[in-house]
Amino acid sequence: MAGLLGALVAAALTLLIATVSSHNHRAQMELAMLPSSVLTPQEVPSFWEALNQGQVTRTAVEVFGQRRWVPAAAAAAGVPASSLALDAGVVPNTTLMRVTMEAGSALAAERALTAAVQQALPLAQQVSGPFTILAIQGAEGTAVPVGPPVRQLVIVLAAGGFLVGAGIASLVMGRSTVAPAAQSRKAPAGPSATADQPRGPVTGSPSTPS
């Protein structure tokens, strides 16, 4: 049983180390939301005021972060769609948007991100109305290693805890089964105290005939 517990603990540690040591790569692009170039100088200030409120930028970010762009991105990078993680957000206190892509390699992350943004850009531009979306930083050369996702780490820790718990439970159950069996083997079957007791000689004088 101790050997089984040791094997389960070793398996859990191996799984945890493999997960922590593995990492994805994250690439990013930055895009700016600007008033359209067709606006007159008199119109530009009011459009900047509307843009600074943030609603237009948040709407475009929702478009860029949609999962629908992942299949085309996966095809462009030559990787499974399940291996990609697309995200988008607003850079605080600016009219900039940051779109990121995680993949198993730097090249896959950069290629997939470029393809996803290209797919999403027409719709994002459409919902942005009289504003223009301009890419100010491409994905090429931006990929950096990142650790495993928190969700994946939690799953691995839960699996490791289950393995160790199962090993401890098996060890405890094994000991509880062995103990009664050992006690039953130690109890001797003693002889009967009365049935096997020897009888003494009969005493007394014999009766005489009259």
What's the CA gap between 61 and 99, in Å, rounded?
8
Helices (H) and strands (E) in the chain, counts: 6, 5
Rounded distance, CA 47 to CA 55, Å? 12
Residue 25: beta bridge partners?
103, 145
Contact of 68 with 165, CB cutoff 8 Å: no
pLDDT at 88 over 90: yes
Between these two residues, 110 and 193, which has the higher pLDDT value? 110
Question: What pLDDT is recorded for position 18?
Answer: 45
Q: Tell me what the pLDDT averaged over the chain comes to.
A: 78
pLDDT at 154 over 70: no
Instruction: Return the CA Rg of the chain.
Output: 39
The CA-to-CA distance between both ends of the chain, in Å, stands at 86
Helix (H, G, I), strand (E, B) or coil at 165: helix
Percent of the chain surpassing pLDDT 90 = 47
pLDDT higher at 152 or 110: 110
Q: Percentage of the chain with pLDDT > 70?
A: 60
Q: Give the residue extent of every domain in the chain.
A: 1-22+148-173, 24-144
> What is the CATH code of the structural domain delimited by 24-144?
3.30.70.1130
Residue 82: both structure tokens together = 């399940």
The predicted-structure confidence for 155-203, as pLDDT tens digits, reads as follows: 656 755 666 566 566 666 666 665 565 566 655 555 554 445 555 555 5
Residue 21 is predicted with a pLDDT of 45
How remote is the C-alpha of 95 from its chain's centroid?
33
Question: What's residue 63's pLDDT?
Answer: 98
**pLDDT score for 32:** 96
Q: What is the pLDDT of residues 20-74, one digit of tens each?
A: 445 799 999 999 999 887 778 888 888 888 888 888 999 999 999 999 999 999 9
